[in-house]
Amino acid sequence: MAQNENLAELSSAGVAVWLDDLSRDRIRSGNLQSLVDEHSVVGVTTNPTIFAAAISGSDSYDDQLHALAVRKVSVEEALRTVTAADVRDACDLLAPVAQRQPGDGRVSLEVAPGLAHDTDATAAEAAHLWWLVDRPNLFIKIPATEAGLPAITETIANGISVNVTLIFSLERYKAVMDAYLAGLEKRAAEGGSLEGIASVASFFVSRVDSEIDKRLDAAGADASLKGKAGIANAQLAYQAYEEVFSSDRWKALQAQGAVAQRPLWASTGVKNPEYSDTMYISELIAPGTVNTMPEKTLMAYADHGTPGTPVQKSYDDAAGVMQAVRDAGVDLDDVFRVLEEEGVQKFVDSWDELTDSVRTELEDKA
C-alpha cells in the first residue's frame, strides 16, 4: 500500500516515525499494521498511562486476566504478564521493519516508575523485562533521573537496548549520552560485542512549553516568547548530539560496531490549542532522529504537515530564544527540576491506576 506522502517525506528527511500508543485492540484489529503499511510508522513507545487506558477500556484482556486469576498470581505478576504480552506481539509485528532498518522496528516497555530513584532496582528490573519479553527489537525505558544514569550504563553494558525517558534539560541530556557511551565502553572492556545494542534518548518537548509559558505569563513577559522554548531546547539538544557523536571517543566505539544513540522527540502532542498541531514535528526535522507521536498528532501531520526550518540551521535562533526566556526571569534549572519530578510522579500515578485496574479485573474474574 502507498505511504502517506507527508509522512514519507518526513522519513526521507531522516526522521523515524514512531507511534506513542499501544493496545491489544490496536494489534488485533490490524490498525498497527496499517499504520506501518500506510503511515510510515516504524516503532512504538508505551508508558504506564498508555497501558492504563488500554486495559481499562477493553475486554480484549479478559481471557488472559481470567487465566491469571485462576492461577492466583499476584497483581504485580499479572500486570507484567499482560503488558509484556502486548509488547512482545508488537515486537513480532515490527520484526520485518527491524530486519530492514536496524534501530527501528522497536517497541518500548518501561521499568516500574516507582524505581526511578533506585539504581540497582532499575537495572535489575530492566534485565528482568528484557528476559520476559525476549525479543531483540525491544527497548527498555529507563528514566533519566540521577539514579537512572548509572542504571543506564549498567543495562547497556549487559547488552540490553535502552530508551532513556524523561529528559528535559541539555545538562541531563549530555549526562545521558555519557551514560550510554560509558555502558558501551564497559561492555567492550569486558569482551562483549557491541553489535545489536541500540538506544534512543527521549527529549520531551511540549511539557517544556507548558511549564515555561506559565512562568512567562506570571512574569508579565513578552507574549511572543510563548510556545518557543520547547522547540528551541530540543534544537540545542540536537546540536549537543552532533558534538558527542562526532567525537574521538564515539569514533572509537563506532569502530567496534556501536551505533549512535538517536535523539527521540517525545511529548509531541500540542497541549495549547492556540499552537499549530504539527509544530513539534515540523520544527524538529533532522537526520538520525525519532519523533514519537500520539495518533492524533500523527494523523494531523499526515493531513497538513509541512517541513519547517531544518534543525541544523536553527541553533543561533534557538540559543537566542533560551537566553530571552532567562532574561524574562524564568529559572530554567527550576523548570527542568519541576518537570522531572512531575514526570516521574505522573507515571507513578498512572502505574498505581494500572495496578488498581488489574487488581479489580483479577478480583472480578477469580
- The pLDDT value recorded for residue 148 is 97
Q: In which residue are the cell numbers 567492550 written?
A: 188
C-alpha pair distances (Å), 4 with each of 34, 93, 207, 238: 11, 20, 28, 26
Q: Which of helix, strand or coil describes residue 283?
A: coil
Spatial separation of the C-alpha atoms in residues 359 and 351, rounded to whole Å? 12
Q: Which of helix, strand or coil describes residue 221?
A: coil
Q: Which helix (H) or strand (E) holds 204?
A: strand 199-204
Taking CA 197 as the corner, what is the angle to CA 249 and CA 31, rounded to the nearest 5 degrees? 135
Q: Which three cell numbers stand for residue 48?
A: 504506564
Spatial separation of the C-alpha atoms in residues 348 and 110, rounded to whole Å? 11
Instruction: Specify whether 141 is catalytic.
Output: yes
- The pLDDT value recorded for residue 107 is 98
From the list 141, 174, 251, 346, the catalytic residue is: 141
From first to last of the 366 residues of the chain, give the pLDDT tens digit. Answer: 689 999 999 999 999 999 999 999 999 999 999 999 999 999 999 998 899 889 887 899 999 999 999 999 999 999 999 999 999 999 999 999 999 998 999 999 999 999 999 999 999 999 999 999 999 999 999 999 999 999 999 999 999 999 999 999 999 999 999 999 999 999 999 999 999 999 999 999 999 999 999 999 999 999 999 999 999 999 999 999 999 999 999 999 999 999 999 999 999 999 999 999 999 999 999 999 999 999 999 999 999 999 999 999 999 999 999 999 999 999 999 999 999 999 999 999 999 998 998 898 888 877
Instruction: Specify the CATH number for the domain of residue 349.
Output: 3.20.20.70
Q: Which of helix, strand or coil describes residue 41?
A: strand
User: Which residue range is the domain that position 175 belongs to?
Assistant: 5-365
- The pTM (predicted TM-score) of the whole model is 0.96
Residue 104 phi, psi (nearest 5): -100, -170
Neighbours of 42 (CB within 10 A): 21
What is the count of structural domains for the chain?
Answer: 1
Spatial separation of the C-alpha atoms in residues 127 and 111, rounded to whole Å? 10
- The pLDDT value recorded for residue 254 is 98
Give residues with Cβ within 8 angstroms of 193, minimum separation 6: 159, 187, 257
Identify the burial level of 296 via C-beta atoms within 10 angstroms of its C-beta, where 0-12 means exposed, 13-18 middle and 19 or more buried.
exposed
Q: What percent helix, strand, coil does the chain show, rounded to 5? A: 60, 10, 30
